[in-house]
Amino acid sequence: MLLYRINNFNLKQIADSGQCFRMTALTDTVFQLIFKDHYLIAEQMDEDTIAFYCSEDEFHHIWSDYFDLQYDYASLIDALCSGQDTFLAEAAAYGKGIRILKQDPFEATISFIMSQNKNIPAIMKSIESLCILFGEKKYVSSTFDAIELPVFYYAFPTPKALADADPLLLKSTKAGYRADYIKKASQAVILSQINLEALRSLPSHEAVLTLKSLYGVGEKVANCIALFGLHKIDVFPVDVWIQRIIDEHYGSHFPLELYHSHAGIVQQYMFYYKRACS
DNA sequence: TTCCAGGCGGGGC
DNA sequence: GCCCCGCATGGA
């Protein structure tokens, strides 16, 4: 176990922010998280202290980067809270513990294809079902005082597992019409028609354009993959919630140019605040 | 029960 | 380019 002091980091807000679908609450303050084939339990000890139940080595090599611990969120929040935009000031103050996770690009691709036209609880169920049916079963080796760990968990499926998936079994995850999108996107990865890792080195708009070449990936899903799977924090995904905010608070035009390099983080505060308060 | 959900592809203009 | 429709299915 490793105690880490950091500001602007709230596990519950991150888990509820709709950017990842495999982080769940075990208690009010304890959360479990699966990233690729890694399993983590973390606990919010107080506002500025997190307990990571893993080795120091695993923390430094995996979770420190995954949670974006190096980025200075405080400066951004201070700027938003003291700015002219009252809606954004409220949103940033409300969601000040959110961080943009550095998720796996393939996992983000499949997860956000699955997400289309579903609500967040339904997405989480479908993703978990997908992992149980097509992911590798892993066993948890560590034990911790006072926290009861599951005996095993399922890693996110590999591209090959989903490319070869039986269509009926895939549809049993409640993927519905998205099942075909998931299978074709996975096949594109297997056949090297797209190299998701290589997109990291491209400018955001080119990465988004390439992602949209996947069948079933449109503007919104491509933006989410870029933001959460490639950590392109300048992209600004517009879903029905964000569109509603823009219509209600900005006269149907959001001044994106004011936020350029970190528009994706701003978007997350807006999304989280609007959903929590509706 | 009805409406809505982190939308997309396709077809008609 | 824009608009509209159908799509599967669970949550609220």
Residue bearing tokens 């988004």: A208
Residue A121, CB, less than 7 Å from strand C?
yes
Average pLDDT, consecutive stretches of 10 residues, N- to C-terminus, chain A (278 residues): 96 98 95 92 97 93 98 98 98 98 98 98 98 95 66 95 98 98 98 98 98 98 98 98 97 95 98 96
What per-residue confidence (pLDDT) applies to A37? Answer: 81
Give pTM, 2 decimals: 0.97
What per-residue confidence (pLDDT) applies to A146? Answer: 61
Residue A195, CB, less than 7 Å from strand C?
no
SS3 content of chain A, % helix, strand, coil (to 5): 50, 10, 35
| Strand B near-CB residues (< 7 Å), A 161-200 | 177, 181
Residue A176, CB, less than 7 Å from strand C?
yes
What per-residue confidence (pLDDT) applies to A150? Answer: 74
Q: How far apart are CA A24 and CA A94, in angstroms?
A: 20
The nucleotide minimizing the C1' distance to residue A178's CA is: C8
DSSP assignment string, A223-262: HHIIIIIS--TT-----HHHHHHHHHHSTT---GGGTGGG
- Which two tokens mark A68? 């974006």
How is chain A split into domains, by residue range? 2-66+103-229, 73-94+235-277
The nucleotide minimizing the C1' distance to residue A121's CA is: C11
What per-residue confidence (pLDDT) applies to A141? Answer: 72
Domain A2-66+103-229 in CATH 1.10.10.10: no
AA identity, residue A63: W
Q: How far apart are CA A223 and CA A40, in angstroms?
A: 27
Q: How far apart are CA A269 and CA A276, in angstroms?
A: 11
